[in-house]
Amino acid sequence: MAYSTAINQRFMQPHFAGDISVDADHIGYMATVGAQQQGVVLSVMVAVNLATQQIDAAQFKVYGCGACIAVARLLCERLIGSSLKQVQSFNTQDLGAELDLPMVKMHCTWLAAEALEKMTTDWQLANPID
């Protein structure tokens, strides 16, 4: 399967891959979704600034295909600087469109949506929105 230039660029340069470090000024949230038996596992981690309640850093780990790695990288790019409200209204289908993701790889955006839902639930429980 031939991937788009946008997918290949993000796959070949997976910025934001790895673990996140959280200091005293931040709180970390993480969500892991998928199953290794199904061929893909996605973990997304963010560091939320306690003073601004915005994401200062985002990282991912993926067990899966190049398309999933590209989606995870783009997701992290988009998350930085976001508030809880912005993350809750995030449309992961836009990631697929921006990457020109083939239809058979749209499950990668669904995993990203599932991870965001889990992560924002934890974030909201810690800091309810008025």
Tens digit of each residue's pLDDT (9 = 90 or more) over 43-70: 999 999 999 999 999 999 999 899 999 9
CATH code of the domain in which 114 resides: 3.90.1010.10
Total domains present in the chain? 1
Residue 93 within any structural domain of the chain: yes
CA distances 111 to 24, 78, 127, 130, Å, are: 30, 16, 24, 28
Q: Is 0.95 topped by the overall pTM?
A: no
For 42, residues 6+ apart whose C-beta sits below 8 A from its C-beta are 32, 33, 34, 60, 61, 62, 64, 68, 72, 108, 111, 112, 115
Give the range of the structural domain holding residue 89, as residue numbers without chain letter. Answer: 5-123
In this predicted model, what pLDDT tens digit does every residue of 15-35 receive, in sequence order? 899 999 899 999 999 999 998
Query: For residue 129, what pLDDT band results from cuts at 50, 70 and 90?
Result: low
Structural domain includes residue 110: yes
